[in-house]
């Protein structure tokens, strides 16, 4: 057996892979049939082998041979199987794909619609950028196939093509848009599908289609289309608020027309239907309640973002969902709870959640619950927490969870709260000490990231805030237990460091006593226990431990000489670590005299620099005068301002300044005296770890609030008594509003650390706004200058043959006002039905910050081409552009021109007038442009079969001409794709480095090309029944390639 | 976009696998296994949506499934698809199968894997929904089947293939093949 395998793999070295096979077939021109049959025999052999790779290779080859042989036969069943196999086993990196291009192209143009269909389906599964580029044009042509079945598939596959070859989007888009109004509902739905997918990626560009979709939505009866359109509007409405208002009516109509079974008398579900589908579900039989429930929750989470109040009233309902046996529903409900909490209901909700944590089965769900609890509590800087002791005890309770992976999360919360809420520290330290004391309960769980992370936080808090510890010595002993050595390294390191901090505190308390032996005993304890850590494998632990060990030994020596060391030891750890806001740097005032916007060196000389010089001197001198004045003001006002600020901070519930007076501020706050902090401290000594204590806070909180309310009522009564005279009702607040709940503890909100300085700040802003105005003026001047320059520049361009126009294959418009409006022509298309019409699509984009309206588009007609104006309009009247442009928005308009002769390119001059509307003013602006009709724009991509092509050439009606392009450095298929795209040709046949192409003008001229390439030289032989048209087209092609 | 369509039975045996996004073979296996694991442990009376199998993608993806007798039909879709819409689509697909096979059962899927694929191709194309009208789907499938029959089916194919190969002329193969291209063919050595 083993021998067989070895033999197999040796054989394999000489196996043919697919490339070999293809090469082989091509080399055996004379006896292909024989060669293929031997190959098939080989494949059979390979298939029998054990090696899976060999088999795969064999199947690959077989697929190729199949498609090759069958394609000659055009048997549908075989094509079908071939494509099915290909769609299953090809992917982007399969190298066979390169070989398939021609095969696919042939199938695409097959007269049998199902061959084409099957090819499209197959292609949709393995489009590569190369295939997309080469076949885009063929598929474009198929989009206007006579059979809706093909049209549908072609439209759908375009999305895949766009993904792989984004350049094709522009030329294909107008046609895609047409398909939205296709008579066949299938094609329509496919087009909607594609545009929805596109819009999901970049909704802004598709705003202009909104009216069209709106029409579709009200007229279509296809559920699928409706769903998609509603989804699309969901993406569009945030960009265009007016749309939302318009949508309300048709959406509600939809809901009412839909099946009654879906209308459950729950408001949330009514909204869900409008949001997530609006779908009249026909077979209501399977609409199970759970689905509605799930979608309802989903919809509510969307509503929550905009109307939190309306969802909050369903709180009970959502809490019930937590009991659902379906995990999907529970998770959704959890998501919702996050947004629903308020100061009022936080404790209640968390209590419910804690109950669920206890009941929950499966660690994933429990972990999810845990993170949600923490998320809910900590959201927006602990905004909803009124009592942090409650929160700490919740956190401690959470540590009891078995097997959770989120110890780290809990730990960071503990640290965060203990550091930022100063008032809570005493309580937190006590809790942490208990945790440390009972560490053995936690360390039983040695899973990674396990709960033992909490000890990290506990140790740090106990060490850093050790002055709050009731019995530091006991904690110190707890931290130096031998069991600690089993903890992960980083935790041990924290233990060691904080043991030192504790040691300092203990020393200080003991040295006050007369008996010096206790202090020495403590040192001895350290010296006994620390060597355990010195031996640690973890470097960090080792380093810290040996360092501290030496220190303690030295201290002991001093102690034996009766030297007081406590002060010095604690000085080691003096100073408080204060949190710093990430944006703190911004608040540091810029030193006076430092102008960050000023040039360090003289800027490169400009015409205006002369004016500025004296000014610069002036501003330099000014600060010197102002500085003393400034400080004077400071000294006078500082005290007063400080007072004011303190007052403000005292009233701000989320602010505790990092000053020693914070405690006082806390006590001064009216209404807080009633917090039974002391009582709680008394109740803490129940030192059973993880006793579910959080409940009591709920009760306490209730009491507190009641008291507060009573207090308030008293006050209000008083007030009313005082203000009986009239408007007493003003303060009659409801039962209990959000703002009424004063938090028991306050968080340092770091991000808001430095408030804006009162009045002086105002002055500054005023100054700067003045500055701004000046700047704006200057900018305006500059802009105008630039504008002029641009004008020149552009004229130059258009004189030079309209380079840009070639790039687009069509026409380009100048854009002299880069700041306000950019208009570019995306497409010029001939109209096949009417040989004298050309449609120009122009995209207008508003690039300034003002609103553009009343746009009028006018073109100076020439003898040959005329802008089609509505009846009754004079020959010089402009056409109104049928939309207005808010800032940053673009939209597309189409204009129809009538053209008489198409054999020459032409340029038309035109103007666009519009009104720029600012908040305070509106100005009338004008924009000149040139429209460049190339001959290419009169050509229309038309497929042609090779036999018809041959007949055409034979007929002898065509006159020839040729052109040579030198130095074209691109692969042949790129070149062809380029000609196809930019000049509207289609490839008739391609043989190696030689291809024939065809196109037709709107007036029925045939244009045939024979393109050959060799050594970077491309020669194009062309024939056409209209020589001057041909000459111009060839010139344009030449330009296209001279650009690259 | 639909990312994948999986059909497997109550024991997790795959009956139809269609990925519209490329995954390596072993990853596909893993996805199927995981999906089965997720779906099979759910009761029949819970909802039909499941968020995120970890493999197919992040939070943007959803599994939408239905359970029929012995088979699970699972669609993995991203957020651009409507949940109810896809649920409806599964129903359409199954009803179409039922029409084409006359009382479809698991055995039909085993023995006519290709036909199931052809039907699916008329419903979903490259991950995009092609057609939701059942009559239209059935009509197209029937037409294609009839065409296949008229050709004598696949059984006649080998004979035809041979004759085709014999008569084959490949006009587009030029005579001047580069000599350098053929003379030395170094077989690509496999790494073992």
**A599 vs A585: CA distance, rounded Å:** 22
CA distance A186 to chain B (A): 6
**A959 vs A1023: CA distance, rounded Å:** 5
Least Cα distance to B163 among A32, A114, A28 occurs for A32
The closest CB to that of A290, out of B46, B84, B114, belongs to B46
Residues A25-64, buried b or exposed e (16+ Cβ, 10 A)? beeeeeebbebbeebbeebeebeebebeebeebbebbbbb
**A773 vs A768: CA distance, rounded Å:** 9
Phi, psi of A849 (to 5 degrees): -95, 5
Are B55 and B30 a contacting pair, CB within 8 Å?
yes
CA distance B10 to chain A (A): 20
Residue with tokens 């709107």: A1002
Are A651 and A671 a contacting pair, CB within 8 Å?
no
Q: Cβ of B47 and A149 within 8 Å?
A: no
Query: What are the boundaries of each domain within chain A?
Result: 384-572, 822-936, 937-1043
3-state secondary structure of B45: coil
**A119 vs A136: CA distance, rounded Å:** 14
B-chain residues within 8 Å CB-CB of A81? 114, 154
- DSSP-derived secondary structure letter, A755: P
**A860 vs A931: CA distance, rounded Å:** 10
Query: What are the boundaries of each domain within chain B?
Result: 2-153
Element (H, E) at B65: strand B62-68
Are A897 and A836 a contacting pair, CB within 8 Å?
no
Residues in chain B: 192
pLDDT for B7 equals 93
Are A296 and A318 a contacting pair, CB within 8 Å?
no
- DSSP-derived secondary structure letter, A221: -
Give me the CATH topology for the region B2-153: Beta-Lactamase (3.30.450)
3-state secondary structure of B50: strand
Taking each helix axis from N to C end, the angle separating A129-142 and A972-983, rounded to the nearest 10 degrees, works out to: 30
Taking each helix axis from N to C end, the angle separating A346-359 and A694-722, rounded to the nearest 10 degrees, works out to: 170
Q: Quick one: how far is CA A672 from the chain centroid?
A: 44
Provide block-wise average pLDDT over 10 residues at a time, chain A (1044 residues): 50 58 70 71 70 67 57 63 78 73 82 85 86 87 88 90 88 87 87 87 81 79 76 74 67 53 36 39 40 69 67 72 73 78 81 80 76 83 82 83 76 86 85 81 58 84 84 84 81 88 84 72 86 86 90 87 79 74 75 78 60 43 43 59 64 47 41 40 38 60 69 61 48 44 52 38 36 42 40 39 36 43 60 70 78 82 79 76 78 81 81 81 80 81 80 80 81 83 83 85 84 84 85 85 73
pLDDT for B1 beyond 80: yes
Residue with tokens 């209308």: A263
Residue A922, strand partner residues: A917
A283 touches chain B (CB under 8 A): yes
pLDDT for B94 equals 92
- Both tokens of A394, joined, read 């919740």
In sequence order, what DSSP letters do the residues of B143-186 get, joined into one string?
HHHHHHHHTTTGGGHHHHHHHHHHH---TTS-S---HHHHS--P
pLDDT for B186 equals 45
In sequence order, what DSSP letters do the residues of A293-339 get, joined into one string?
HHHHHHHHHHHHHH-HHHHHTTHHHHHHHTT-S-HHHHHHHHHHHHH
**A967 vs A794: CA distance, rounded Å:** 28
Kindly calculate the radius of gyration of chain A based on its CA atoms and give it in whole angstroms: 40
Are A478 and A438 a contacting pair, CB within 8 Å?
no
Kindly calculate the radius of gyration of chain B based on its CA atoms and give it in whole angstroms: 22
CA distance A1041 to chain B (A): 27
Chain A interface mutation, best of B153, B190, B191, highest count of A Cβ atoms under 10 Å: B190
Q: Which CATH code is given to the segment(s) A822-936?
A: 2.60.40.10
CA distance B45 to chain A (A): 8
**A484 vs A322: CA distance, rounded Å:** 39
Residue with tokens 């949190």: A579
A258 touches chain B (CB under 8 A): no
Residues A688-703, buried b or exposed e (16+ Cβ, 10 A)? ebbeebbebbbebbee
pLDDT in tens, B128-163: 998 888 898 999 999 888 888 887 655 555 555 555
Q: Which residues have a Cβ under 8 Å from the Cβ of A214 and sit 6 or more positions away?
A: A246, A250
Q: What is the pTM of this model?
A: 0.47
**A1011 vs A1024: CA distance, rounded Å:** 15
Are A596 and A590 a contacting pair, CB within 8 Å?
yes
A197 touches chain B (CB under 8 A): yes
Q: Is B112 exposed, middle or buried (0-12, 13-18, 19+ CB in 10 A)?
A: middle
Chain A interface mutation, best of B164, B179, B180, B182, highest count of A Cβ atoms under 10 Å: B164
Are A232 and A199 a contacting pair, CB within 8 Å?
yes
A-chain residues within 8 Å CB-CB of B136? 186
Q: Is A106 exposed, middle or buried (0-12, 13-18, 19+ CB in 10 A)?
A: middle
Q: Cβ of A277 and B136 within 8 Å?
A: no
CA distance B187 to chain A (A): 6
Phi, psi of B115 (to 5 degrees): -65, -40
Q: Cβ of A328 and B51 within 8 Å?
A: yes
Q: Which CATH code is given to the segment(s) A937-1043?
A: 3.30.310.10
CA distance A319 to chain B (A): 18
Are B39 and B53 a contacting pair, CB within 8 Å?
no
pLDDT for A837 equals 79
3-state secondary structure of A939: strand
Q: Is B56 exposed, middle or buried (0-12, 13-18, 19+ CB in 10 A)?
A: buried
Distances from the Cα of B37 to the Cα of A512, A968, B18, B28, angstroms: 67, 57, 18, 14
Q: Cβ of A77 and B151 within 8 Å?
A: yes
**A844 vs A824: CA distance, rounded Å:** 7
pLDDT for B93 equals 92
A328 touches chain B (CB under 8 A): yes
3-state secondary structure of A60: helix
The closest CB to that of B43, out of A29, A277, A325, belongs to A325
Cα dihedral A282, A286, A289, A292 sign: negative
Residue B16, strand partner residues: B7
Q: Cβ of B45 and A288 within 8 Å?
A: yes
Residues A943-969, buried b or exposed e (16+ Cβ, 10 A)? bbeeeebeebbeeeebeeeebebeebe
- DSSP-derived secondary structure letter, A274: I
Cα dihedral A427, A429, A434, A440 sign: positive
| CA angle, A492 then A493 then A495, to 5° | 60
- Both tokens of B102, joined, read 């006359």
């Amino acid at each position: 057996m083993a021998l067989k395998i070895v033999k197999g793999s040796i054989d394999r070295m000489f196996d043919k892979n697919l490339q070999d096979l293809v090469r082989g077939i091509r080399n055996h021109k004379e006896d292909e049939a024989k060669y293929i049959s031997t190959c098939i025999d080989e494949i059979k052999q390979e298939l029998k082998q054990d090696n899976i790779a060999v088999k795969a290779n064999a199947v690959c080859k077989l697929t190729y041979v199949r498609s090759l042989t069958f394609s000659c036969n055009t048997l549908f069943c075989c094509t079908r199987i071939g494509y099915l196999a290909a769609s299953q086993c090809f992917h982007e990196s399969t190298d066979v794909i390169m070989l398939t291009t021609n095969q696919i192209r042939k199938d695409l143009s097959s007269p049998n619609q199902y061959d084409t269909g099957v090819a499209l389906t197959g292609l949709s599964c393995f489009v590569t950028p190369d295939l997309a580029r080469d076949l885009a044009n063929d598929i474009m042509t198929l989009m206007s196939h006579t059979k809706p079945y093909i049209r549908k598939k072609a439209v759908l596959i375009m999305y895949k093509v766009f993904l792989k070859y984004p350049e094709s989007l522009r030329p294909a888009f107008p046609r895609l848009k047409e398909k939205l109004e296709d008579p066949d509902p299938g094609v329509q739905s496919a087009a909607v599908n594609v545009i929805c997918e596109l819009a999901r990626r970049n909704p802004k560009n598709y705003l202009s289609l909104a009216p069209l979709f709106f029409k579709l939505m009200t007229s279509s009866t296809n559920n699928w289309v409706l769903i998609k359109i509603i989804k699309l509007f969901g993406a569009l409405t945030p960009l265009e608020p007016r749309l939302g208002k318009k949508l309300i009516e048709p959406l509600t109509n939809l809901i009412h027309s839909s099946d009654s079974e879906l209308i459950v008398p729950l408001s949330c579900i009514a909204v869900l239907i409008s949001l997530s589908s609006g779908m009249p579900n026909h077979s209501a039989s399977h609409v199970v309640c759970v689905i509605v429930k799930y979608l309802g929750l989903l919809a509510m989470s969307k509503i929550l973002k905009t109307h939190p109040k309306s969802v909050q009233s369903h709180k009970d309902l959502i809490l019930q969902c937590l009991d659902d046996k379906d995990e999907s529903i529970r998770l959704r409900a959890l998501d919702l709870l996050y947004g629903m909490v308020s100061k009022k209901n936080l404790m209640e909700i968390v209590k419910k959640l804690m109950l669920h944590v206890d009941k929950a089965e499966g660690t994933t769900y429990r972990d999810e619950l845990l993170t949600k609890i923490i998320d809910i509590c900590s959201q927006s800087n602990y905004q909803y927490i009124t009592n942090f002791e409650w929160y700490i005890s919740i956190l401690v309770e959470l540590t009891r969870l078995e097997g959770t992976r989120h110890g780290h999360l809990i730990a960071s919360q503990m640290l965060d709260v203990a550091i930022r809420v100063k008032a809570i520290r005493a309580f937190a330290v006590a809790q942490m000490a208990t945790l440390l004391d009972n560490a053995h309960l936690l360390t039983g769980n040695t899973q990674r990231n396990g709960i033992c992370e909490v000890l990290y936080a506990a140790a740090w808090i106990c060490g850093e805030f050790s002055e709050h510890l009731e019995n530091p010595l006991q904690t110190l002993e707890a931290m130096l237990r031998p069991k600690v050595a089993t903890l992960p390294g980083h935790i041990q390191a924290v233990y060691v460091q904080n043991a030192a901090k504790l040691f300092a505190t203990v020393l200080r308390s003991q040295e006050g006593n007369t008996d010096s032996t206790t202090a020495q005993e403590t040192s001895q304890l350290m010296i006994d226990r620390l060597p355990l850590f010195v031996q640690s494998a973890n470097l960090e632990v080792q380093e810290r431990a040996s360092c501290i060990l030496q220190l303690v030994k030295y201290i002991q020596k001093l102690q034996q000489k009766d030297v007081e060391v406590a002060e010095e030891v604690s000085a080691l750890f003096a100073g408080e670590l204060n949190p710093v806001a990430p944006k703190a740097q911004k608040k540091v005032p810029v030193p006076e005299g430092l102008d960050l916007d000023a040039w360090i060196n003289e800027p490169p000389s400009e015409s205006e620099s002369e004016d500025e010089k004296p000014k610069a001197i002036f501003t330099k001198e000014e600060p010197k005068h102002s500085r003393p004045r400034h400080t004077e003001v400071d000294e006078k006002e500082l005290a007063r301002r400080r007072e004011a600020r303190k007052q403000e901070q005292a009233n701000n519930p989320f602010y505790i300044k990092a000053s020693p007076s914070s405690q006082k501020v806390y006590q001064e706050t009216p209404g807080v005296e009633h917090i039974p902090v002391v009582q709680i401290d008394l109740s803490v000594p129940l030192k059973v770890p993880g006793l579910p204590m959080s409940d009591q806070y709920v009760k306490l909180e209730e009491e507190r609030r009641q008291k507060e309310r009573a207090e308030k009522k008293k006050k209000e009564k008083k007030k009313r008594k005082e203000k009986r005279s009239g408007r007493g009702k003003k303060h009659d607040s409801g039962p209990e509003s959000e703002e009424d709940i004063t938090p028991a503890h306050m968080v340092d909100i770091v991000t808001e650390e430095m408030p804006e300085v009162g009045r002086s700040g105002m002055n500054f802003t005023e100054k700067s706004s003045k500055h701004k105005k000046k700047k704006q003026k200057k900018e305006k001047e500059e802009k105008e200058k630039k504008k002029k320059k641009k004008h020149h520049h552009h004229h130059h361009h258009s004189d030079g043959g309209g380079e840009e126009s070639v790039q687009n294959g069509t026409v380009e418009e100048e854009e002299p006002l880069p700041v306000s409006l950019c208009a570019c022509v995306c497409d010029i298309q001939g109209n096949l039905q009417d040989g004298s019409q050309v449609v120009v699509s122009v995209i207008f984009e508003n690039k300034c910050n003002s609103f553009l309206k009343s746009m009028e588009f006018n073109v100076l007609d020439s003898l040959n081409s005329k802008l089609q104006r509505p009846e009754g309009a004079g020959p010089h009247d402009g056409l109104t552009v049928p939309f207005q442009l808010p800032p940053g928005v673009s939209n597309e308009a189409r204009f129809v021109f009538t053209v008489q002769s198409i054999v020459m390119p032409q340029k038309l001059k035109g103007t666009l007038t519009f009104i720029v509307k600012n908040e305070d003013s509106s100005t009338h602006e004008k924009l000149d442009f040139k429209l460049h009709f190339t001959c290419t724009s009169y050509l229309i991509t038309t497929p042609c079969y090779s036999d018809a092509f041959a007949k055409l050439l034979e007929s002898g009606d065509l006159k020839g001409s040729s052109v040579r392009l030198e130095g074209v450095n691109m692969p042949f298929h790129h070149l062809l794709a380029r000609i196809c795209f930019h000049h509207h040709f289609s490839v008739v046949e391609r043989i190696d480095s030689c291809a024939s192409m065809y196109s037709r003008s709107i007036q029925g001229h045939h244009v045939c090309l024979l393109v050959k390439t060799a050594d970077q030289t491309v020669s194009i032989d062309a024939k056409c029944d209209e020589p001057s048209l041909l000459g111009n087209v060839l010139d344009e092609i030449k330009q296209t390639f001279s650009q690259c | 976009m639909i990312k994948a369509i999986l059909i497997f039975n109550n024991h997790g045996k795959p009956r139809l696998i269609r990925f519209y996004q490329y995954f390596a073979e072993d990853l596909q296996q893993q996805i199927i296994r995981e999906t089965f694991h997720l779906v099979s442990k759910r009761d029949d009376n819970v909802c039909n949506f499941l968020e995120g199998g970890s493999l197919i993608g992040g939070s943007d993806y959803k599994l939408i499934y239905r359970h029929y007798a012995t088979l699970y039909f699972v669609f993995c879709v991203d957020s651009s698809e409507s949940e109810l819409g896809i649920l409806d689509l599964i129903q359409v697909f199954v009803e179409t199968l039922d029409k084409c096979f006359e009382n479809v059962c698991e055995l039909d899927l085993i023995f006519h894997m290709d036909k199931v694929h052809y039907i699916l191709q008329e419903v979903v194309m490259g991950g995009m929904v092609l057609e939701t009208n059942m009559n239209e789907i059935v009509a197209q499938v029937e037409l294609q089947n009839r065409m296949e029959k008229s050709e004598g089916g696949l059984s006649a194919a080998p004979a035809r293939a041979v004759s085709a190969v014999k008569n084959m002329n490949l006009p587009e193969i030029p005579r001047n093949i580069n000599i350098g291209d053929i003379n030395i063919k170094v077989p690509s050595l496999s790494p073992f």
